[in-house]
Amino acid sequence: MVGIGTSDVNLDKYRHTFCSLLGKDEDSWGLSYTGLLHHKGDKTNFSSRFGQGSIIGVHLDTWHGTLTFFKNRKCIGVAATKLQNKKFYPMVCSTAAKSSMKVIRSCASCTSLQYLCCYRLRQLLPDYVDTLEVLPLPPGLKQVLHNKLGWVLSMNYSTSKPSSSSSSGSDSDSSCGSDA
């Protein structure tokens, strides 16, 4: 299970219990390999199952207050909103023996006009693996964008309009296409 939580998550409460820790309380959100989103003790169908070899992305946008999940670099939905003004930490947990998870990329970026422009470009060019390859930009600008915001330009967003409910999603959820 992967997700986020605040420092208020009680890590000792379930120490002797065989259960998924994330999402048991109001201070954490977790996406299980079963595709269920856990929060406040509730489970919601969010995506299809995933397993070994899957790449699960977690994008916490504290400016807009959204938590978005990705599966194999494709947006699967906005899991939570109204997350501004709280400090969150990345969290993982597992109840399976001999399981492992690896962090591929971790970064923090302030919301800026440059970020918002790259975010919008990614939404407008969703079929391209590398947005920078198809844009007619000067080489120096491409290098700067690759170094500073390459992760934004490599995310895969849907181009559909956002759905009316952004508290949960699915693999084909259009809430990932919302304007930044």
pLDDT tens-digit series, residues 159-180: 333 333 333 344 444 345 444 3
With 60 as the cut, is the pLDDT of residue 27 above it?
Answer: yes
What pLDDT was estimated at residue 165?
33
- Region 70-88: mean pLDDT is 91
| Candidate from 14-18, 50-54, 92-96, 176-180 with smallest mean pLDDT | 176-180
Domains identified in the chain and CATH numbers: 2-177 (2.60.120)
Helix axes 113-124, 139-153, angle to 10 degrees: 80
With 70 as the cut, is the pLDDT of residue 106 above it?
Answer: yes
CB 106 within 8 A of CB 90: yes
With 60 as the cut, is the pLDDT of residue 60 above it?
Answer: yes
Residues above pLDDT 90, as percent of the chain: 38
What pLDDT was estimated at residue 148?
84
Rounded to two decimals, what is the model's pTM? 0.72
DSSP the chain: -EEEE-TT--SSTTTTS-S--TTSSTTEEEE-TTSEEEETTEEEE-S----TT--EEEEEETTTTEEEEEETTEEEEEEE---TT---EEEE---STT--------------HHHHHHHHHHHHSTT-S-HHHHS---HHHHHHHHHHHHHHHT-B---SPPPS--S---TT-GGGG---
pLDDT tens-digit series, residues 130-168: 788 888 889 999 898 888 888 787 776 653 333 333 333
Compare 164 and 123 and report the one with higher pLDDT: 123
What pLDDT was estimated at residue 172?
40
Contacts 24+ apart (CB under 8 A), 35-41: 37/69, 37/79, 37/168, 38/1, 38/3, 39/79, 39/80
What pLDDT was estimated at residue 44?
95
